[in-house]
Amino acid sequence: MTISQLDEAFEFLEDWEDRYRFIMDLGKKLPPLPEEDRHEGNLVHGCQSTVWVSAEAPEGPSGQVVLHADSDSDLVKGLAAMVIIILAGKTPAKIATCDIEAEFDRLGLHEHLSPTRSNGLHGMVRQVKSRAVTLAADQ
């Protein structure tokens, strides 16, 4: 899925119950997170649910970042899938400067998430951006 397909889905689904189901379906489509990526360094802090997000740049700082995520919550896993969709194909430097929060605001997501889910989403974004800064600096 692309960000434009994500936008189209949100436009088509006017009811937030339908949008929540769509977000959870996105999470169900994520590939399984490798067991070796389930460690403290990939654990997102500040989220009520257990969430792991891993980021690597197999082609180096000028290549695309590969993100993987998992959660014990279907909704949070879907939110992680949205982060992955928004950042797909970007280099570490692009991710470090990408305004992911603006994308979520544009979709109206923050208005419809509980404060704990919003905090978890912010934690995911912070972690991915922090990791991207590290990947961009790796030479």
Residue 118 confidence (pLDDT): 87
Q: pLDDT tens digits, residue range 118-129? A: 888 999 999 999
Q: Which residues are catalytic?
A: 47
Domain range list for the chain: 3-137
pTM for this predicted structure: 0.94
The pLDDT score that the predictor gives to residue 62 is 92
Mean pLDDT, residues 8-20: 94
* Higher pLDDT among residues 117 and 91, named by residue: 91
Average pLDDT over residues 31-36: 92
Does the pLDDT at position 139 exceed 60? no
- Quick: pLDDT tens for 65-116: 999 999 999 999 999 999 999 999 999 999 999 999 899 988 989 889 888 8
What pLDDT is stored for residue 89 in this prediction? 94
What would the 3-class secondary structure string for the chain be?
A: CCHHHHHHHHHHCCCHHHHHHHHHHHHHCCCCCCHHHCCHHHECCCCCCCEEEEEECCCCCCCCCEEEEEECCHHHHHHHHHHHHHHCCCCHHHHHHCCHHHHHHHCCCHHHCCHHHHHHHHHHHHHHHHHHHHHHHCC
Domain 3-137 class? alpha beta
Mean pLDDT of the chain: 93
Please give the share of the chain, as a percent, with pLDDT higher than 70.
99
